[in-house]
Amino acid sequence: MASQQRGTRAPRQRVLHEDQILDELNQSEGDFSASDDEDLYMPPEVRPNSDSDRCYSSDSEEDLELSTPPLSSPALSSSSLIRGSRVRSSSRRGSGSGRRFMRARGRGRIVQVNNETSNTWTGVFSPTKHNLLSPNYVQRAFNDFEMFKYFEDYIDDTILEKIVTATNQTEMLKNQKALGLTLRELKTFFGISMVMATIGYPKIKMYWEKVWRLPIVADNMTRDRFFLLRTRLKVVFDNDIPDSQRAIDKTWKVTPLFDRICEGCHVQQKSEHLSIDEMIIPFSGQCGIRQYCPNKPNPVGLKVFVLANPNGSICDMKVYEGATTFPGYDGFSLGESAVLYLTTSLVPGHYLYFDRYFTSMKLMQELTHRGFNATGTIMKNRVPRDCVMTPDNEFSKQSRGTTEVDTYLQEFDGSIQKAFGVACVQMQ
């Protein structure tokens, strides 16, 4: 009995590696492709409220190479091809759309089947590119360029003379004595202030002290005169500003100076790629529109929306004044209004970049209609409901640099991309 059992024992199976299995298959003449009885093809699931679903497959090798992107998944490994398993890409939760991969007749061929809807990434994103109009801006000649000429682009003698007149008038009205401020002395005061900002002594008095004395400062103006002008400068004469203007312009005390600086920003050369963000002008005095932004280098001061070149030069800006900051942009949020206002000085065709404080679907649509290309990070609660993407807890398991794109061509020519770096970030 024992010998009979030993004689009927199944032969010992031999373990083959993938290379050996491929050699055996190449030497055989059998057809190891899937039979007709196997469930090779799974019809795409119908997505609710979708008007049409179409499936695409390539019959020729040429079409297959064009339609199937290079994959580094187990679907292309030799072991998976031999087993004839069907690999399914991760589909979006809450929708029936997705990609299906199946084996076709013929060894080593993978056919991609797309269940295409209006909300599904089709593999090709070809947005409408708005080219920069040409000629766009007046080109400036920089022959014999001097730094003082660059300073005059922003602050010229006209605005300085207004400051001199307003300062002397205010001093005479309040103290009944002449201050005697001249244009030359005012320029000296501004020059000393720039030097102090560069050197950065902890106390202003140190520039006149014997140990720390700085000749370029101390030889051109006395300490007491500098402190006197520092507390007396006025941009406008208060009695010339009516109450109606004060009610609508919360920065009326410095509006002429700020407008002149903006004129200098407008004449600077603008790059094709521009950025929009908010910055803080440090200010700790009494002001009704003073803001506190904890994430800024200078958290306390006046908040300003800025349009800037890649090198950091400012092309346009607007001080935040509360609800009256952008009176002509009803129906838009503060961030949306800031972007639209700053683009009024631009010609169509620029590429704009901003953060999630500004980005919204409504803003992207408006910029597209105005002929601008825009990119920005977006908050999750501003993403359209029909744009369903992989949850963060699943997406964060992927390798760094993984991206996912979703198009929503039914609304306008754009897309939402999700990328994983240190954390999951969504861009529009």
> How far is it, in rounded angstroms, from Cα 227 to Cα 224?
5
Residue type, 23: D
Residue type, 368: T
Has residue 363 got a pLDDT over 70? yes
Strands 351-354 and 273-282: parallel
Residue 221 lies in a domain: yes
Range in 17-26, 54-63, 211-220, 234-243 the model is least confident about: 54-63
**Residue 165 banded pLDDT, cuts 50, 70, 90:** very high
So what's the pLDDT on residue 179?
A: 94
Residue 265 lies in a domain: no
Has residue 410 got a pLDDT over 80? no
Has residue 106 got a pLDDT over 90? no
Higher pLDDT, 260 or 149: 260
So what's the pLDDT on residue 324?
A: 86
| Helices 183-199, 223-232: crossing angle, 10 deg rounding | 100
Residue 12 lies in a domain: no
Q: Is the dihedral of CA 94, 99, 100, 101 positive or negative?
A: negative
Residue 217 lies in a domain: yes
* Residue in the block written with tokens 């009256």: 324
Range in 6-20, 30-44, 201-215 the model is least confident about: 30-44
Residue 315: closest CA among 205, 203, 183, 154: 154
> How far is it, in rounded angstroms, from Cα 167 to Cα 237?
8
Give the residue from 224, 239, 254 where a domain finishes: 239
**Do 216 and 205 have their domain in common?**
yes
What secondary structure does DSSP assign to 267-309, as a single string? TS---SEEEEEEEEEE--S--TTEEE-TTSSS-EEEEEEEEE-
Mean per-residue pLDDT over the chain, rounded: 75
**Do 344 and 317 have their domain in common?**
yes
Instruction: Write the pLDDT tens digit of every residue in 116-153.
Output: 434 444 444 456 677 776 556 666 666 666 788 888 99
Range in 28-32, 68-72, 411-415 the model is least confident about: 68-72
Residue 105: closest CA among 57, 165, 51, 156: 57
**Do 232 and 279 have their domain in common?**
no
**Do 361 and 399 have their domain in common?**
no
Which of 78-92, 283-297, 326-340, 408-422 reaches the highest mean pLDDT? 326-340
Task: Write the burial class of residue 372 (CB in 10 Å: 0-12 exposed, 13-18 middle, 19+ buried).
Answer: buried
Residue 137 lies in a domain: no
**Do 199 and 285 have their domain in common?**
no
Q: Domain count of the chain?
A: 4
Has residue 366 got a pLDDT over 70? yes
Residue 127 lies in a domain: no
Max CA distance (Å), the chain: 131
Residue type, 216: I
**Do 387 and 425 have their domain in common?**
yes
Instruction: Write the pLDDT tens digit of every residue in 199-238.
Output: 999 999 999 999 999 999 999 999 999 999 999 999 999 9
**Do 395 and 353 have their domain in common?**
no
So what's the pLDDT on residue 413?
A: 63
**Do 297 and 368 have their domain in common?**
yes
**Do 25 and 103 have their domain in common?**
yes
Strand partners, 403: 419
Q: Which two tokens stand for residue 351?
A: 């590429």
Range in 133-137, 163-167, 309-313 the model is least confident about: 133-137
Residue 142 lies in a domain: no
**Distances from the Cα of 9 to the Cα of 2, 3, 4, 5, 12, angstroms:** 11, 10, 9, 6, 9
**Residue 384 banded pLDDT, cuts 50, 70, 90:** confident
Q: How many CB atoms lie within 10 A of CB 196?
A: 16
Residue 7 lies in a domain: no
Domain that includes residue 278, residue range: 270-374
**Do 369 and 300 have their domain in common?**
yes
Has residue 267 got a pLDDT over 80? yes
Instruction: Write the pLDDT tens digit of every residue in 390-399.
Output: 777 777 777 7
Give the residue from 71, 93, 114 where a domain finishes: 114
Does residue 384 have a cis bond before it (omega within 30 degrees)? no
**Do 354 and 307 have their domain in common?**
yes
So what's the pLDDT on residue 341?
A: 95
**What predicted TM-score, i.e. pTM, was given to this entire model?**
0.65
Has residue 194 got a pLDDT over 70? yes
